[in-house]
């Protein structure tokens, strides 16, 4: 039986911090690895030792198994925990660890191999008696015969069809096709994206179940032959086929169905000789019938909900099993207590179609409510770049019932202060408070029935932007008076013409907000975009807090100012306001019709040429960022007057990609 004394974490972000937290309680020293961009990351400081991996691209850093093992040798680490993503499901890396005499905290390479291809995995599962859906495969090097492919799909599967990458996950390389007309384009696009993300363009096609539930089962196995399940997780709330809210137990799985799912999951684990933590994933129709999707041969992002309802530490179990210990009695006899729910907090712009966002984290604070747990990969000052997954943190709530967990989680998110990077927080709160979700009547089509933008705005008061803009203006005014070096005794806004207003102009979500105010302690005359704001009293104002009463309702607004940006939080919601310069530099504005890069990325396709006529919605070009493709489309009918970039060119946020001149 082995003993792990020093553990190298071959990962980054919140999972690295999560593993370190458990390893320390087991008196296991921890080694972190980090790229250039991650040099000041939280988990690097939390580890006992760390090793630099020069560069930023994952292929040059966290995906370099040779560098990871060199770091293990350098520091004397006797085990490697791969977390999830990167090398966690790389059988070759697991073998290299064994060859180097380093314990790989994960399943045997053979188990990883057997599940590495979703195509082969389904053959194994079918042989083991696990229900699967019929499929058609298109290999990486195959020349596609469109007519033959359309014929096979019609005969063997039927529409709608789901196109999926065979060697990867996370929604990358996935398309839904509703008829034969869109089949070839979907397959080619999926292959292209799969090559970029996973290095292999093999895809398979299977029948798409319209709005099924996504149910997965946590399995665990030891080297003594014990294979168990630790109940199910509901993962149906997804965007772009990636989970954003998970919970355990599922609101629709009863004891009988739970036993069926668990039996199938254990059979899957036994069929591949599994060891360690894994997840059997299923889709389930409205009739309660379920079908195998895949086995994730690693710890899942959503493992905390299982931990919170079972009381088990899954990372601790992983490390004990890796040392050769049998599963403990508390795992073999685990039960479910209460309900747990998790949200994934992403740096992304929901209004722009879930585009990844970048920037500096200027504020990160989640209230410490009962039952709340936060697994974070960032802190104040962290840089969110383009090289890695956009998840900032996971916020998890546990309660006696599903409704308890849901309400606590919604409140914790609503009260959180998240500044500097655009996040999906508003969408998450909107979903948690939406009646259909609250009732548990959910499926993977939830966000196709509910407009994400409407959900994001649903919990914001209509007066939020106006009140927050006034608070931002008053906080800035208080800051200026505090720092005044000339005539500091003069009242704010003093003028020879006392009837004049002080003025501030902000941009909020692209809309201009003009605030004019005149102080007359304690009342204040305010106009927002030319409209008077009724009965305003200013009770107190500093550069960080404004105590403001509007129309008889008093609210406390907290303000964080970073340069020209003010982040304002109150019970009304959160607003980011950018103060506009009164005298912009000449020529600083882009030409009308300019299409700007919505995120940093690389141009992978230019679909039009200067002089082309386009209609609204026409794809102008395609960017690739974070291993996903994003189409930039013409916003209006018009003519392309300029293409400012070329294929393979890297672009920054806000780069002018093209100009489309609108036609009258």
Check whether residue 610 and residue 566 sit in a common domain: no
Q: Report which DSSP code applies to 241.
A: T
Please tell me the total count of domains within the chain.
Answer: 5
Check whether residue 451 and residue 364 sit in a common domain: yes
In Å, what is the CA distance from 167 to each residue of 124, 149, 190, 201, 235?
A: 16, 20, 12, 8, 21
Determine, yes or no, domain membership for 489: no
Check whether residue 305 and residue 347 sit in a common domain: yes
Contact 627, 199 (CB under 8 A): no
- Please write the tens of the pLDDT for every residue from 49-87: 999 999 999 999 999 999 999 999 999 999 999 999 999
User: Distance between CA 356 and CA 386 in Å, rounded?
Assistant: 8
Check whether residue 430 and residue 286 sit in a common domain: yes
Determine, yes or no, domain membership for 110: no
Residue 641: enclosing H or E segment and its boundaries? strand 638-643
- Please write the tens of the pLDDT for every residue from 611-645: 999 998 899 999 887 666 788 989 889 999 999 99
- For the chain, the maximum distance between any two Cα atoms, rounded to a whole number of angstroms, is 88
Contact 440, 463 (CB under 8 A): no
Q: What is the mean pLDDT of residues 429-444?
A: 97
Up-side HSE of residue 550: CA atoms within 13 Å toward CB? 22
Q: What is the mean pLDDT of residues 90-106?
A: 98
pLDDT for 453 beyond 70: yes
Q: Where is the domain boundary, 579, 603, 625?
A: 579
Q: Where is the domain boundary, 207, 229, 244?
A: 207
Determine, yes or no, domain membership for 1: no
Q: Report which DSSP code applies to 585.
A: P
Check whether residue 237 and residue 203 sit in a common domain: no
- Please write the tens of the pLDDT for every residue from 203-218: 999 988 888 999 999 9
- Please write the tens of the pLDDT for every residue from 482-521: 866 554 444 455 455 555 789 999 988 878 899 999 987 7
The CATH number of the domain holding residue 260 is 3.30.470.20
User: Distance between CA 324 and CA 359 in Å, rounded?
Assistant: 44
Q: 65: how many CB neighbours lie within 10 A of its CB?
A: 21
**Concatenated DSSP letters of 46-72:** HSSEEEE--SSSGGGTTT-HHHHHHHH
Determine, yes or no, domain membership for 46: yes
Q: Is 111 helix (H, G, I), strand (E, B) or coil?
A: helix
549: Cα separation from own chain's centroid: 37
- At 117 the pLDDT is 83
The CATH number of the domain holding residue 167 is 3.30.1490.20
- At 499 the pLDDT is 59
**Concatenated DSSP letters of 507-572:** EETTEEEEEEEEEETTEEEEEETTEEESSEEEEEE-SSEEEEEETTEEEEEEEEEETTEEEEEETT
- At 562 the pLDDT is 92
* Tokens at 534, concatenated: 């009724």
Determine, yes or no, domain membership for 116: no
- At 64 the pLDDT is 97
Contact 106, 91 (CB under 8 A): no
Q: Is 614 helix (H, G, I), strand (E, B) or coil?
A: strand
Check whether residue 342 and residue 404 sit in a common domain: yes
Domain assignment of residue 510, given as a range: 464-483+499-579
Contact 261, 215 (CB under 8 A): yes
Q: Is 650 helix (H, G, I), strand (E, B) or coil?
A: strand
pLDDT for 3 beyond 90: yes
- At 498 the pLDDT is 55
The CATH number of the domain holding residue 39 is 3.40.50.20
Check whether residue 230 and residue 292 sit in a common domain: yes
Determine, yes or no, domain membership for 119: no
Residue pointed to by tokens 């949200």: 343
Determine, yes or no, domain membership for 176: yes
Check whether residue 321 and residue 436 sit in a common domain: yes
Contact 410, 432 (CB under 8 A): yes
Contact 473, 517 (CB under 8 A): yes
pLDDT for 479 beyond 60: yes
The CATH number of the domain holding residue 644 is 2.40.50.100
Check whether residue 158 and residue 299 sit in a common domain: no
Pairing relation of β-strands 594-596 and 656-662? antiparallel
- Please write the tens of the pLDDT for every residue from 552-589: 999 999 999 998 999 999 999 999 999 987 555 555 55
| Of 140, 223, 151, the residue nearest 187 (C-alpha) | 140
Reading phi first (left if > 0) and then psi (alpha if -120 to 50, else beta), residue 333 is in: alpha
- At 489 the pLDDT is 47
- At 490 the pLDDT is 46
Q: Is 648 helix (H, G, I), strand (E, B) or coil?
A: coil
User: Distance between CA 651 and CA 195 in Å, rounded?
Assistant: 21
User: Distance between CA 553 and CA 109 in Å, rounded?
Assistant: 63
Check whether residue 618 and residue 530 sit in a common domain: no
Q: Where is the domain boundary, 579, 608, 626?
A: 579
Check whether residue 203 and residue 217 sit in a common domain: no
- Please write the tens of the pLDDT for every residue from 385-431: 888 989 999 999 999 999 999 999 999 999 999 999 999 999 999 99
Contact 533, 604 (CB under 8 A): no
- At 494 the pLDDT is 46
* Tokens at 549, concatenated: 């009463």
- At 167 the pLDDT is 85
Residue 306: enclosing H or E segment and its boundaries? helix 303-310
User: Distance between CA 281 and CA 250 in Å, rounded?
Assistant: 13
Q: 321: how many CB neighbours lie within 10 A of its CB?
A: 25
Check whether residue 350 and residue 292 sit in a common domain: yes
Determine, yes or no, domain membership for 129: no
pLDDT, the chain, mean: 92
User: Distance between CA 113 and CA 91 in Å, rounded?
Assistant: 6
User: Distance between CA 555 and CA 543 in Å, rounded?
Assistant: 16
Q: What is the mean pLDDT of residues 98-108?
A: 98
Contact 659, 591 (CB under 8 A): yes
User: Distance between CA 621 and CA 631 in Å, rounded?
Assistant: 6
Q: What is the mean pLDDT of residues 180-206?
A: 89
């Amino acid at each position: 039986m082995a003993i792990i004394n020093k553990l190298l974490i071959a990962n980054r972000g919140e999972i690295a911090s999560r593993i370190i937290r458990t390893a320390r309680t087991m008196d296991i020293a921890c080694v972190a690895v980090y790229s250039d961009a991650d040099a000041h990351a939280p988990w690097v400081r939390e580890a006992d030792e760390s090793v630099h991996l020069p560069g930023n691209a994952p292929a040059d850093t966290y995906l370099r198994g040779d560098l990871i093992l060199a770091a293990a040798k350098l520091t004397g680490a006797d085990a490697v925990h791969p977390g999830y993503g990167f090398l966690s499901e790389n059988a070759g890396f697991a073998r290299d660890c064994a060859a180097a005499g380093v314990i790989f905290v994960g399943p045997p390479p053979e188990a990883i191999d057997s599940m590495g291809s979703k195509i082969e995995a389904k053959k194994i599962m079918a042989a083991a008696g696990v229900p699967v859906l019929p499929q058609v495969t298109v290999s990486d090097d195959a020349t596609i015969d469109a007519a033959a492919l359309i014929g096979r799909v019609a005969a063997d599967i039927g529409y709608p069809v789901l196109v999926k990458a065979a060697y990867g996950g996370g929604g990358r390389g996935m398309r839904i096709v509703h008829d034969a007309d869109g089949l070839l384009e979907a397959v080619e696009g999926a292959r292209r994206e799969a090559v970029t993300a996973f290095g292999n363009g093999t895809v398979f096609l299977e029948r798409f179940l319209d709005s099924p539930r996504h149910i997965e089962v946590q399995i665990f196995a030891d080297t003594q032959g014990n294979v168990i399940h630790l109940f199910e997780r509901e993962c149906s709330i997804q965007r772009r086929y990636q989970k954003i809210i998970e919970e355990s137990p599922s609101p629709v799985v009863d004891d009988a169905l739970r036993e069926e799912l668990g039996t199938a999951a254990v059979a899957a684990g036994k069929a591949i000789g599994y060891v360690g933590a894994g997840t059997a994933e299923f889709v389930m129709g409205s009739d309660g019938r379920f079908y195998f999707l895949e086995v994730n041969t690693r710890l899942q992002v959503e493992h905390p909900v299982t931990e919170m309802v079972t009381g088990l530490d899954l990372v601790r179990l992983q490390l004990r099993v890796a040392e050769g210990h049998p599963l403990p009695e508390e795992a073999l006899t685990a039960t479910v207590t209460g309900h747990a729910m998790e949200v994934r907090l992403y740096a992304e712009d929901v209004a722009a179609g879930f585009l990844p966002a970048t920037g500096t984290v200027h504020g990160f604070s989640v209230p410490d409510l009962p039952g709340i747990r936060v697994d974070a990969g960032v802190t104040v000052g962290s840089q969110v770049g383009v090289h890695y997954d956009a998840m900032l943190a996971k916020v998890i709530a546990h309660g006696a019932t599903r409704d308890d967990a849901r309400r606590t989680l919604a409140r914790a998110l609503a009260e959180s202060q998240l500044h500097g990077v655009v996040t999906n927080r508003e969408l998450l709160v909107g979903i948690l408070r939406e009646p259909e979700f609250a009732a548990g009547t959910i499926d993977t089509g939830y966000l196709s029935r509910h407009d994400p933008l409407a959900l994001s705005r649903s919990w914001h008061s209509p007066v939020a932007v106006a009140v927050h803009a006034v608070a931002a203006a008053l906080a800035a005014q208080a800051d200026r008076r505090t720092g005044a070096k000339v005539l500091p005794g003069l009242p704010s806004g003093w003028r020879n013409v006392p009837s004049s207003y002080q003025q501030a102009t902000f941009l909020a979500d692209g809309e201009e907000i003009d605030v004019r105010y005149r102080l007359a302690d304690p009342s204040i005359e305010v106009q927002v975009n030319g409209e008077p704001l009724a009965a305003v009293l200013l009770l107190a104002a500093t550069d960080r807090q404004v105590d403001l009463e509007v129309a008889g309702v008093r609210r406390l607004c907290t303000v964080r100012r970073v340069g020209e940006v003010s982040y304002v939080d109150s019970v009304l919601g959160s607003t980011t306001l950018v103060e506009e310069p009164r005298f912009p530099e000449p020529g600083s504005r882009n030409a009308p019709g300019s299409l700007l890069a919505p995120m940093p990325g690389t141009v992978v396709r230019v679909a039009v040429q200067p002089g082309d006529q386009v209609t609204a919605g026409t794809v102008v070009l395609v960017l690739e960022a974070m291993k996903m493709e994003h189409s930039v489309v013409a916003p209006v009918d018009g003519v392309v007057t300029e293409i400012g970039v070329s294929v393979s060119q890297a672009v920054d946020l806000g780069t002018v990609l093209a100009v489309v001149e609108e036609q009258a």
